[in-house]
Every structure is written in C-alpha cells, then in structure tokens.
Amino acid sequence: MSKSSGRVILTGAGGQLGQTLIGLWPESALSRHELVALTRSDLDIADATAVQSSFAALKPDLIINAAAYTAVDRAESEADAAYAINERGVANLAESSKCPLLHISTDFVFDGMASMPYSEDAATRPLGVYGASKLAGENALLARKSDAMIIRTSWLYSEHGANFVKTMLKLMSERDTLSIVDDQIGSPTSTRSLATVIVSAASKHLNDGHELPTGIFHWSDGAVITWFDFACEIQKQALEAGQLTSRCELIPIPTSDYPTPARRPAYSVMSRRRAFAELDCSATSWQAELTRCLSLRTRP
C-alpha cells in the first residue's frame, strides 16, 4: 500500500551529490514528495539548536544527509572542523530526527591493506582525520538510530563542483604532460549513479510503505582501477567527444612521488553485494557513467 506524499529534507544540498539529487528529483520515483534542499547556509548541521528547530518546523518523513567536511588534506590541520560536521553534525541529525535517516559515508574508513573488495562488515581503520571523522559519524548515527541507513561510496565525481574528472579535463587542456598516481586502486562513482540508488532505497519507504533499509551498504560504479587508469579513460572519452583538442602525455607515478598531508588507502574497492541483494538497483559500467557525465559538459 503506497503512502501519501511526504517531505524529505536534503542536507548538504550545495555539494555535487546534493545538486545531482535536486536535478534528478522531478523525474524520479520520489517526484510527488516535497524535497526541502538545505545548503550549509540554510542549515549548519554542527549547530544542534538549529537542527532541532529546523526539524521541528519541517517535520520530515525522511532525511538524506549529504553534508560533510570533505577536504581530505586540509582535515589534517583542521581536525576540529572535520569532526564538527562529520561526527557531531551527524549526531545532531540523529538526535533531532523522528524519521528514518539516510547518510552518505566513504571508503576512507578503510586502511587500504586489503586485496579483495571490502564487505560492509569489514574491519575499519582510517588512515587520516577525514576518514576517522567519517567513521565517528557512522558510529554516532548507528548508536542513536535503529532506522538509519549508511551508504559508503568512493571517488565521487559529477558535472558539479570540484572533483577529479573536472580537474583532469582542465589540466589536460593546459599541459603537455601530466603525472598521475598509479598505485592507489579504487572505484569511481558518478553522483547520478549514487543518487539513483538513494532514490531507489527511499522510494521503498516513501512510496511502498516499507521500512528504510538499515545498516551499512556500499555503492560505486564497480571498477577496480588506479587514478592513472581513470585519467586515461577521461582523456580518451574527452578527445572522442571533442572536449579536448590535443592529447596530453599521461605519466604514471607512485604515491611516494606525490606526497600529500593525508595518507590515502592503497586499495579501497568495496563490495556491492548487499546493495544488489537488498536494493532495487542495477549498474551500468563505470565507463558508461563517465560518458554520461562528460555529455553534460560543453568544455573542459
């Protein structure tokens, strides 16, 4: 039995996933439900009083939390800021909500020492402040809400905001050579792909009257590639689409040649087993998702 139309709060609406969800909403299975899209200027989730007041006034039927501190390297010197949003902000959402909450997390909760895809219940061991703060947020949420769903994702990109794809297109258009790390293995994820999974999970609850799937899920676009591999495919497709007019020489390098304040997991591929088993979702190839994203861009 389907439910009457409801209200969904989206936090972090100004980010690339938030913008994708907003664009997808009118044509999605959730179109008859009101989406209240809140950017950080609308609602700072680190402000417990503001969260409580907002939720009391809006009375949502579902909360999608896409708000996060995602500056991985800067987090090493801004730990308080990272934890304020990624842990305490998530705790605020959990404590003030009277409805299910769907939260987005990251592959950075893992240490990268695995050699096969991480399962949802694999041991976590973050290497830096960003991953540790995101894991703390997961734990804060699960400790406070039994009706919480967490989707971990990786290497997120889109036509919105700042991300690896857009950075590569810009640098490839400006340089003759470009060095790319070739010993970190993971899976790119388009925001459109992730948003589709979110809508699928939410629609079971809002449209079909089922409880929101709870616990931890993993979602990516299924690749097992390096950043260098990803860059090669970006250039290949961009040249074919006429978004790049000349080829840039791409040079594979080890992580040791590109030091950063934060350590990255050397391997962060995640198993999507539970998502395929319990959610009504299907997957296209990671190359097809990249093609779709590039088709929305008119220039580097």
Asked if residue 297 is part of any domain, the answer here is: no
| Confidence (pLDDT) at 3 | 53
Instruction: Please check the confidence at residue 299 and state whether its pLDDT lies above 80.
Output: no
**pLDDT average, residue stretch 239-252:** 95
**Of the residues 130, 157, 258, 267, which is catalytic?**
130
Mean pLDDT for the chain overall? 95
Asked if residue 54 is part of any domain, the answer here is: yes
Residue 14 lies in domain: 7-162+188-221+268-283
Asked if residue 210 is part of any domain, the answer here is: yes
Asked if residue 296 is part of any domain, the answer here is: no
Strands 225-226 and 185-186: antiparallel
Asked if residue 207 is part of any domain, the answer here is: yes
83 is catalytic: no
Asked if residue 242 is part of any domain, the answer here is: no
Q: What CATH number does the domain containing 105 carry?
A: 3.40.50.720
The kind and range of the H/E element at 192 are: helix 191-206
Cα distance between residue 14 and residue 159, in whole Å: 13
Q: Tell me: the pLDDT tens digits for 22-70?
A: 999 999 999 999 999 999 999 999 999 999 999 999 999 999 999 999 9
**How many residues does the structure list for the chain?**
300
Fill in the amino acid letter for 202. A
> To which residue do tokens 């999605």 refer?
28
Please state the domain count of the chain: 1
Give Cα 108 to chain centroid, integer Å: 11
| Confidence (pLDDT) at 59 | 96
Asked if residue 200 is part of any domain, the answer here is: yes
Instruction: Please check the confidence at residue 298 and state whether its pLDDT lies above 60.
Output: no
Contact of 207 with 29, CB cutoff 8 Å: yes
Contact of 273 with 145, CB cutoff 8 Å: no
Cα distance between residue 98 and residue 179, in whole Å: 49
